[in-house]
Structure 1
Amino acid sequence: MTIPTPSDPAAVAVELEKLRGTMETGFATVTGSLNLLAQRTDQTDRRIDDHETRLDALERARWPLPSIAALVAVVGLALTLYQLSQK
């Protein structure tokens, strides 16, 4: 078997076919990687949305605590002043 010379049209066609196969393989790999990244991005977006929903629920459930603490402090102060005025 002889190696065809670069001026031979058949050699150019063979090399172009090899190059085409290599490019198709490379593009398939890149496409697969991009699909995986897109899937992971979608999963991350869903997780972030879920975390935001849970955080909003926690913030809504927590809002009365400072109000209750302030109310207890005012009642405690009022009772202290009442007891001091009775002595």
Structure 2
Amino acid sequence: MTQSPPTESVAVELEKLRGTMETGFARVDGALALLVQRGDQTDRQLADHDQRLDNLERSRWPLPSIAALVAVLGLTLSVWQFAHR
């Protein structure tokens, strides 16, 4: 029959395994923390870009109205000059 390994050797191997697992979990936790940080930065950038786009759209709305007003004014002036000739 085979002999069972001494309990000290099993305890040492389990301790090594535990250390390896703790190291692996610490590395995974660090990687996950980095991913969460990058996700937060991306969310902030998207919110900033959305706010900037809203500001641009809000400041741009009078341009078509002003263009239409200038066109009507030009047409009116042309008709008035043509009528007085």
Same fold (TM over 0.5): yes
**Residues 1-87 of structure 1 mapped to structure 2, 5 A cutoff:** 7-8=4-5, 9-87=7-85
Gaps (5+ residues) in structure 2? none
Q: Quick one: distance in 2 between partners of 1:39 and 1:78? A: 60
Alpha-carbon distance, 1:10 to partner: 2.6
2:73 match: secondary structure: helix
Structure 2 length normalisation: TM-score?
Answer: 0.86
Amino acid at match of 2:21: M
Q: Which runs of 4+ in 1 moved over 6 A?
A: none
Alpha-carbon distance, 1:6 to partner: 8.3
Paired-residue identity, %: 67
Q: Quick one: distance in 1 between partners of 2:72 and 2:3? A: 95
Question: Judging changes above 3 Å, is the alpha-carbon distance between structure 1 residues 30 and 23 closer, same or farther for their aligned structure 2 residues?
Answer: same
- Superposition CA RMSD, Å: 1.8
Deviations 1:10-64 (A, max 9, x none): 3222222111111100000000111111111111111211111111111111100
Alignment coverage as a number of residue pairs: 83
Higher RCO, Cα 8 Å, sep 6+: 1
